[in-house]
């Protein structure tokens, strides 16, 4: 391929790297630069004569050439185009990281005259810094393509097509504030041409288009071929039934696909009227007209936001449950003016996301009504667009069962080829015409590849999905149910997942002199002062309809003080009681406890600025004033170690670390508070967060009790017994997390905890890594005070287990500077504390690189990225279905996790059984037909119909209904269809089934009353005959007995006897077949063209052969299940596992001296990113 025809946005960036070869550590380049380079792009130009030649070929092949091009896009492109540089291409061939190929047309559009410049995001100043002149006085041709809803535009300087969103991702916070005057109509028009309309448009195809695409599916192409073949062989009844069933199947499939597309379109498509600032005025426009850079005015009553926007003025209360599953409203505050690059992810508290409901807005617009925001992303580039895109275009499931299914079908195809050759040889020896010979030979192919196989495999998943729904677990990705059965590690969030959502105030400790005062259980007993003011005012709560809304922790904190939250009645937020400041909220002490006149500190407090809490910052702050606007004070609240890092060293209590460690190790949730008096000259409306939060004075600690949910310990115990490793990933303090880990059983009482402390390099020291055994003092006091020396303790060669605990700061340093140690730490890490949402996602992906099947359970708020990255993501939400994760549980505890794994194992084992049954059904019929071909006869039309539709289809449907076992077994079910037990089972069963059929034929031929069939007629034309009747009788029993043999029960499913419907159907079918074999000739026998044999002893002998066949096959399956073939494995010697985590586990088991305690480790000269 011409190298000029290859391209991706950014020089030197790999395009289609296999997931298996990726490093454990994510690419250090900015995420937005990586996002535009995830595909290989090859450019092509149409060649006229090639196009016409292909059209001619399509006509001559009756459209089969177009079908081939539809299945293999690359062949279609190579046949009709020539390679060229992508800057000149008419069509592009895209290849994503999963190897999937797509063909897209390059579109062109003239840009209107004028001038508009976009600064492209800056990564490497020499290589990436760029300014793109998108149009000048002359008309400029914009080249772009649309893929998965997103626009990719050609940027000549980069020599690549890049996401259109790259043009506005370099904005600084100050740039956004400069856009408050809005865009001109000319700028808006040009930007709309570049970015497209602001709409998330889910394509809803017509029934005709869907029918065309469905019929081109290889399965239906094969069905059409089979029906034509059967009609040619005069199997009219059978062909007609299969045709009717296929049409019904296609009709139902088309209806469901269109229904889902329509529902998703209705959910995604959102067009509302929005007030924007244009040409220094305000006008109402459709949300479709919005472009990045537009300044929108949010009304006080709020609205359903149609884009992503940065909040510049005012405050908004937002319900983000559609995106996160979290029903608690979130307070959004204005973005500060700074030169820092704006990022929606890192500045979530200042970002309004598309699809979220703005409940109220205040303090930002004219006369203080509403709020002001600037549009940053539109269409599919928004947060909602990203979620819709993940539903529309899910990444392919990397699951061995589905891969092996396709390989096994290929194997059956090879068997069919052998059967075809055999049938040609046999039929050519008889008086068979060549037309009949071709038809009969091809008929073997339709027998060996069962038409009902795809439907049968999905049956188990459908049953499991319905059972989960009855238990309040909803699934938006059914194929992931089978993956649940292979889960080997489960991550849990702590607060709201393992522990109760709400917290109770345990007490407050205020700084007194150089230490702490005694713990005060009731904050109301505090004398008026700064501590009480901090507890009452340092929050992000808001009033809606007179009801306080916000974080439950802050609601409890306010409730404990007895103070009352009020808001100014003036729309501008001006309250004469507090001078000329714009007031966000007012906190008033209880009326009965109002202090004496003159004590200004204890009087009502007005909040005039808020800097909201975020998981990445681990803190929040407010600026308050007293009556008359006097005494401005800033309060800081957050993780104690984070708060301490912003305080003056001399102000920290001497026993800060031991006190914090004491409460955290007992499982308490501890928050730190600090304060600072601001000068009268400080402009409170514009003061930066950095200025407010530096040189603070430590004030005290708020201690809150977070109870473990009663179900958590039992669930963790169940998972550990099932050899599923539990891991805690939380944003809380590391000692609190370790305490909860011990309380819920992740860490047992006799097991030791080793704390991992990694620090990045500084101007005076190298990066270092150290393992501490004990109370985790070093890990708990990062960036606060000096690391406390821990006495060296004995190592753990005594056999006691150990767990590693690490916090977010150490995890970041570990990933950046010690990647060679990361795999080993991941293998033994159980507690990950102070982790940001991004780090949670990074952890899940790193564990997956070790070949773990990772589950993640969280509340959906800060865990969205991790929930979507995990193989099995479970969101605990009251919503029926959340796009935040594949699974949503309405229960508020983790009891759904074992249920999900049980259903996954049951579904996987059932899918295995159904696949094996359908394969054996094909092989039974394949053997029957070949044996009868040898005897110059065949099964009749209605005999095929009886077996395929009445017997096998009904059995396949009901055998999958069995529910999961009540217990979780330590051994996970197999996921490979090409393993030794599965293949040997199929091979041995097939041999036994063929022997049984041959035995039945030989018994028949050996009878005194045997009459040979008419050899002058072949195929079904010489029915009824004795050979056909004997094979029909035995194969009919074989279809039934193999459904029992293959159906697995213990330890993943309940025993067969609990599947009452299946047992009932088995009894009916056994009775029916026994009646057909044993009793006298009836109208049914005549319809099925069965020979009337009166010898009862012969008939009983056939039943005995079937019973013997059942007994041998059943015993053989039990022996294989219990490991009878393990001796064959032992002959080849013990092999290392293909899973990296198993190899690492064996390596660590042989290295009892790892990790080295209290020994500082430094980065290697040449670190290799990956698994050491």
What integer is the mean pLDDT of 266-271? Answer: 83
Q: Whose CA is closest to 335, among 350, 325, 346, 348?
A: 350
What distance in Å separates the CA atoms of residue 980 and residue 326, rounded to the nearest whole number? Answer: 47
What is the side-by-side order of every strand in the sheet holding 308-313? 281-286, 273-278, 295-298, 371-377, 308-313, 351-352
What integer is the mean pLDDT of 402-407? Answer: 76
Q: In percent, how much of the chain has pLDDT > 70? A: 87
What distance in Å separates the CA atoms of residue 451 and residue 240, rounded to the nearest whole number? Answer: 14
Cβ 854 vs Cβ 753: under 8 Å: no
Catalytic residues: 493
Per-residue exposure over 52-88, b if at least 16 CB sit within 10 Å of its own CB, e if not: eebeeebeeeeeebbbebeeebeebbbbbbebbebbe
SS3 string of 724-774? CEEEEECCCCHHHHHHHHHHHCCCCCCCEEEEEEEECCCCCCCCEEEEEEC
Residue 602 has pLDDT above 70, yes or no: no
What distance in Å separates the CA atoms of residue 849 and residue 870, rounded to the nearest whole number? Answer: 12
pLDDT on residue 10: 37
What integer is the mean pLDDT of 303-329? Answer: 82
Residue 401 has pLDDT above 80, yes or no: no
Angle separating helix axes 1060-1078 and 1026-1046, nearest 10 degrees? 160
Distance between start and end Cα atoms, the chain: 36
Angle at 345 between CA 339 and CA 350, to 5 degrees: 65
pLDDT in tens, 853-888: 999 998 766 677 788 889 999 988 765 445 667 888
What distance in Å separates the CA atoms of residue 446 and residue 222, rounded to the nearest whole number? Answer: 8
Q: How many CB atoms lie within 10 A of CB 45?
A: 15
Q: How many CB atoms lie within 10 A of CB 459?
A: 20
pLDDT in tens, 675-693: 999 888 888 888 888 889 9
pTM: 0.77
Q: Whose CA is closest to 736, among 462, 717, 795, 744?
A: 744
Distances (CA, A) of 664 to 703, 751, 1076: 9, 19, 75
Give residue 574's pLDDT band: very low, low, confident or very high (50, 70, 90).
low
pLDDT in tens, 735-786: 888 888 998 999 988 888 999 999 988 888 888 999 988 654 444 444 333 3
Q: In the structure encoding, which two tokens stand for residue 223, read together?
A: 């069905």
Query: 3-class SS at 941?
Result: helix
pLDDT on residue 417: 85
Residue 25 has pLDDT above 70, yes or no: no
Q: When comparing pLDDT for 618 and 640, which is higher? A: 640
Please, what is the average pLDDT of the chain? 81
Dihedral, CA atoms, 226, 232, 238, 243, nearest 10 degrees?
Answer: 50
Residue 571 has pLDDT above 70, yes or no: no
What φ, ψ does residue 506 adopt, rounded to 5°?
-90, -30
Angle separating helix axes 48-60 and 64-71, nearest 10 degrees? 120
Lowest model confidence (mean pLDDT) among 483-492, 767-776, 995-1004: 767-776
What integer is the mean pLDDT of 88-104? Answer: 86
What integer is the mean pLDDT of 495-518? Answer: 84
Cβ 828 vs Cβ 803: under 8 Å: yes
pLDDT on residue 879: 57
């Amino acid at each position: 391929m011409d190298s000029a025809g290859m391209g991706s946005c950014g020089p030197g960036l790999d395009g289609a790297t296999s997931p298996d070869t990726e490093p454990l550590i994510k690419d250090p380049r900015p995420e937005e630069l990586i996002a535009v380079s995830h595909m290989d792009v090859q450019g092509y130009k149409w060649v006229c004569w090639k196009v016409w030649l292909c059209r001619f070929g399509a006509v001559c092949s009756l459209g089969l050439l177009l079908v081939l091009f539809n299945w293999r896009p690359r062949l279609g492109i190579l046949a009709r185009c020539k390679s060229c540089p992508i800057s000149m291409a008419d069509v592009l061939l895209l290849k994503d990281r999963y190897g999937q190929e797509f063909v897209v047309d390059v579109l062109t559009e003239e840009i209107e005259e004028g001038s508009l410049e976009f600064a492209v995001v800056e990564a490497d100043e020499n290589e990436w810094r760029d300014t793109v002149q998108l149009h000048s006085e002359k008309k400029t041709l914009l080249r772009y393509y649309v893929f998965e809803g997103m626009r990719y535009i050609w940027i000549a300087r980069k020599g690549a097509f890049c996401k259109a969103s790259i043009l506005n991702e370099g904005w600084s916070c100050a740039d956004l504030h400069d856009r408050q005057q809005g865009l001109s109509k000319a700028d808006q028009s040009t930007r709309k041409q570049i970015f497209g309309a602001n709409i998330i448009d889910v394509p809803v195809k017509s029934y005709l288009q869907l029918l065309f695409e469905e019929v081109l599916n290889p399965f239906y192409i094969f069905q059409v071929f089979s029906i034509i073949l059967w009609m040619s062989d005069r199997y009219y009844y059978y062909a007609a039934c299969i045709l009717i069933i296929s049409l019904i199947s296609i009709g139902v499939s088309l209806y469901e696909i269109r229904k889902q597309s329509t529902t998703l379109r209705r959910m995604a498509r959102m067009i509302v009227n929005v007030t924007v600032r244009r040409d220094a005025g305000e006008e109402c426009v459709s949300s479709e007209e919005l472009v990045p850079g537009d300044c929108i005015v949010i009304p006080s009553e709020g609205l359903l936001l149609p884009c992503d926007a940065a909040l510049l003025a005012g405050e908004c209360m937002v319900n983000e449950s559609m995106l996160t599953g979290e029903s608690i409203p979130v307070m959004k505050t204005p973005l500060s003016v700074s030169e820092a690059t704006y990022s929606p992810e890192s500045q979530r508290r200042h970002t309004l996301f598309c699809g979220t409901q703005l409940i109220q807005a205040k303090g930002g617009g004219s006369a203080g009504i509403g709020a002001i925001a600037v549009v940053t992303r539109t269409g599919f580039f928004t947060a909602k667009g990203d979620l819709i895109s993940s539903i529309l275009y899910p990444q392919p499931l990397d699951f061995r069962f589905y891969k092996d299914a396709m390989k096994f079908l290929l194997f059956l195809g090879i068997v069919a080829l052998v059967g075809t050759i055999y049938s040609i040889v046999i039929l050519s020896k008889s008086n068979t015409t060549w037309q009949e010979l071709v038809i009969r030979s091809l008929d073997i192919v339709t027998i060996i590849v069962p038409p009902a196989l795809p439907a049968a495999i999905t049956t188990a998943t459908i049953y499991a999905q319905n059972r989960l729904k009855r238990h309040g677990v909803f699934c938006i990705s059914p194929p992931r149910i089978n993956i649940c059965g292979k889960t080997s590690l489960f991550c849990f969030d702590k607060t709201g997942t393992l522990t109760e959502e709400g917290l109770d105030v345990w007490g407050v400790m205020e700084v007194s002199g150089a230490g702490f005062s005694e713990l005060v259980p009731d904050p109301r007993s505090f004398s008026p002062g700064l501590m009480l003011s901090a507890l009452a005012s340092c929050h992000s709560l808001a009033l809606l309809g007179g009801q306080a809304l916000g974080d439950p922790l802050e609601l409890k904190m306010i409730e404990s003080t007895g103070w009352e939250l009020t808001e100014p009645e003036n729309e501008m937020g001006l309250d004469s009681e507090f001078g000329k400041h714009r007031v966000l909220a007012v906190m008033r002490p209880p009326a009965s406890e109002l202090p004496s006149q003159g004590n200004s500190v204890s009087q009502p407090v007005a909040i005039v600025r808020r800097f909201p809490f975020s998981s990445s910052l681990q803190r929040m702050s407010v600026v308050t004033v007293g009556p008359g606007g006097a005494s401005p004070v800033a309060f800081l609240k957050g993780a104690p170690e984070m708060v301490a890092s912003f305080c003056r060293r001399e102000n920290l209590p001497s026993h800060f670390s031991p006190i914090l460690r004491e409460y955290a190790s007992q499982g308490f949730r501890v928050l730190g508070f600090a304060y600072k008096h601001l000068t009268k000259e400080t402009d409170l409306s514009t003061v930066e967060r950095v200025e407010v939060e530096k040189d603070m004075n430590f004030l005290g600690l708020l201690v809150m009790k977070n109870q473990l949910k009663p179900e958590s310990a039992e669930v963790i115990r169940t998972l550990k017994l099932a050899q599923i490793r539990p891991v805690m990933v939380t944003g809380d303090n590391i000692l609190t997390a370790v305490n909860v880990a011990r309380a819920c059983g992740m860490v047992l009482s006799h097991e030791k905890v080793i704390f991992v402390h990694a620090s990045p390099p500084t101007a005076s020291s190298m990066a270092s890594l150290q393992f501490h055994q004990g109370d985790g003092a070093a890990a708990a006091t990062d960036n606060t005070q000096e690391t406390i020396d821990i006495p060296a303790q004995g190592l753990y060669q005594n056999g006691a287990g150990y767990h590693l605990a690490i916090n977010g700061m150490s995890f970041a340093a570990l990933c950046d500077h010690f990647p060679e140690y990361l795999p080993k730490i991941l293998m033994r890490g159980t507690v990950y504390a102070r982790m940001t949402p991004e780090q949670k996602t990074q952890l899940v992906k790193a564990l997956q690189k070790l070949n773990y099947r990772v589950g993640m359970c969280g509340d959906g708020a800060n865990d969205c990225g991790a929930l979507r990255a995990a193989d099995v993501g479970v969101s605990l939400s009251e919503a029926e279905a959340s796009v935040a994760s594949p699974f949503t549980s309405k229960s508020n505890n983790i009891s759904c996790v074992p249920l999900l794994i049980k259903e996954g194992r049951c579904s996987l084992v059932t899918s295995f059984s159904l696949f094996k049954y359908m394969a054996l059904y094909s092989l039974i019929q394949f053997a029957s037909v070949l044996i009868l071909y040898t005897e110059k006869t065949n099964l009749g039309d209605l005999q095929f119909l009886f077996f395929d539709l009445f017997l096998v289809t009904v059995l396949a449907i009901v055998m999958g209904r069995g529910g999961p076992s009540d217990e979780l077994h330590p051994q996970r079910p197999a996921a490979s269809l090409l393993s030794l037990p599965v293949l040997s089972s199929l091979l041995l069963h097939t041999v036994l089934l063929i022997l049984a059929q041959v035995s039945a034929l030989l018994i028949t031929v050996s009878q005194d009353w045997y009459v040979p069939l008419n050899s002058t007629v072949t195929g079904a034309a010489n029915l009824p005959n004795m050979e056909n009747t004997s094979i029909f009788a035995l194969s009919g029993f074989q279809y039934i007995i193999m459904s029992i043999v293959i159906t697995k029960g213990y330890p993943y499913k309940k025993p067969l006897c609990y599947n009452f419907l299946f047992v009932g159907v088995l009894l009916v079918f056994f009775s029916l077949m026994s009646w057909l074999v044993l009793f006298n000739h009836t109208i049914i026998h005549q319809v099925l063209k069965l020979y009337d044999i009166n010898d009862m002893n012969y008939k009983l002998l056939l039943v005995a052969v079937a019973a013997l066949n059942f007994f041998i096959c059943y015993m053989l399956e039990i022996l294989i299940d219990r490991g009878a073939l393990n001796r064959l494995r032992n002959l080849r010697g013990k092999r290392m596992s293909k899973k990296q985590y198993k190899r690492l586990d064996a390596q660590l088991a042989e290295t009892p001296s790892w990790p080295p305690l209290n020994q500082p480790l430094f980065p290697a000269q040449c670190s290799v990113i990956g698994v050491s």
